Structure 1
C-alpha cells in the first residue's frame, strides 16, 4: 500500500459546531473510517426532536448516512456500531428500526446505557466504524 493511502482524511459534517466542541465527525485512514457519535442536532448544534426517542434515533442515522456518503460508503460497509442511550427501554422499543438501516447484515457493537450524553436533551448517540473493501 502507498503511504499516501495512510494519511488521515478528516471530515466535518457541521464545521462550526465540531470546531467549538473540539472533534471531527469522521476520519478515514486507509480502508478504515471512524465516525464520531451522531446525536439529534441541527446545523447550529441545537438539540432536535427533544423528548422524541424514535425521531432522535432516525436523525442520528440520517447524519451517519451523510458521513458515509461523503466517503462513498453505505451501512453495508459498517463493521462496528456502538449505541449509547440514556433510556435503554426506549431504545429496545425502537431497535427494530435498525432492520431498515442494515439490510444485508448487522455490524458488531455494543449497546450501552449511560447516565448522560453531551447535552441533557440527547437521548441516543450512535458511533460507527467502517471498513471499505471497494
Structure 2
C-alpha cells in the first residue's frame, strides 16, 4: 500500500473489506497508534464465531459475544505488535456492541484475560449500537495506544 504521508506508518490485515471500504486497520503518528474498529475474523478474513441470524437477517442471539470479543482482541494484538506495542500500551478502547448486557458479561471476563489483570489500565467505553458492518458481527472494538518511540 502506498502511503502518501511519510510521517504515518500504516498497517492492514489484508482482508477484502479494507480495499472495498478504503481504509487502513491502524495508523501511527508520532507516539500514538490509532487502531480502526476490529472484528472477529481469522487471517483469511472469515468471521470467527459469527452470530446466527433470524429471518430478518439480525442476530438471533448473542451467545457468540465472548468468542467474538476474544478474537477481536487477538486481531488488535497482532496489529499492535507490528508497531512493537502491546495491550499494555493501550490508553483507550471503545467496544461497539449490539447487546450491552451480554457484552458487559463477556467483556468483563475477556478484557481481564487479554490484559492480564483484573483492572486493565486504560479508559474503556461500552456503547450499544443498532448495527455493525456485517450482520453476523455483534462486536467491534477500536483502540488508541501510546508508545515512547516515534514511527520509523
Question: How big is each residue's C-alpha offset from its partner over 1:36-62, in whole Å with a ceiling of 9 and x where there is no partner?
Answer: 011112345342211211111111011
Q: Which residue of structure 1 lines up, in the alignment, with residue 132 of structure 2?
A: 117
**TM-score for both structures, normalised by structure 1:** 0.88
Larger of the two Rg values belongs to structure: 2
Q: Could you say what secondary structure the match of 1:76 adopts?
A: helix
Query: 2:15, 2:45 within 8 Å by CA — same for their partners in 1?
Result: no
Rate the CA distance shift 1:43–1:21 in 2: closer, same or farther, 3 A. Answer: farther
Q: Which moved more, 1:100-109 or 1:20-29?
A: 100-109
Unaligned 5+ segments in structure 2 are 1-5, 52-63
Query: 1:38, 1:64 within 8 Å by CA — same for their partners in 2?
Result: yes
Q: Could you say what secondary structure the match of 1:89 adopts?
A: helix
Q: CA separation in 1, counterparts of 2:20 and 2:136?
A: 19
Query: 2:12, 2:26 within 8 Å by CA — same for their partners in 1?
Result: yes
Q: Could you say what secondary structure the match of 2:109 adopts?
A: helix
Q: CA separation in 2, counterparts of 1:13 and 1:45?
A: 8
Query: 1:18, 1:25 within 8 Å by CA — same for their partners in 2?
Result: yes
Question: Which structure dedicates a bigger proportion of its chain to helix?
Answer: 1
Unaligned 5+ segments in structure 1 are 1-5
Q: CA separation in 1, counterparts of 2:39 and 2:28?
A: 20
Q: Which residue of structure 1 lines up, in the alignment, with residue 72 of structure 2?
A: 60
Q: Could you say what secondary structure the match of 2:23 adopts?
A: coil
Q: Could you say what secondary structure the match of 2:85 adopts?
A: coil
2:100 equivalent to 1:96: no
Alignment of 1:1-134 (within 5 A): 7-14=7-14, 16-51=16-51, 52-94=64-106, 95-103=108-116, 105-133=120-148
Query: 1:10, 1:26 within 8 Å by CA — same for their partners in 2?
Result: yes
Task: Give the CA RMSD over aligned residues.
Answer: 1.7
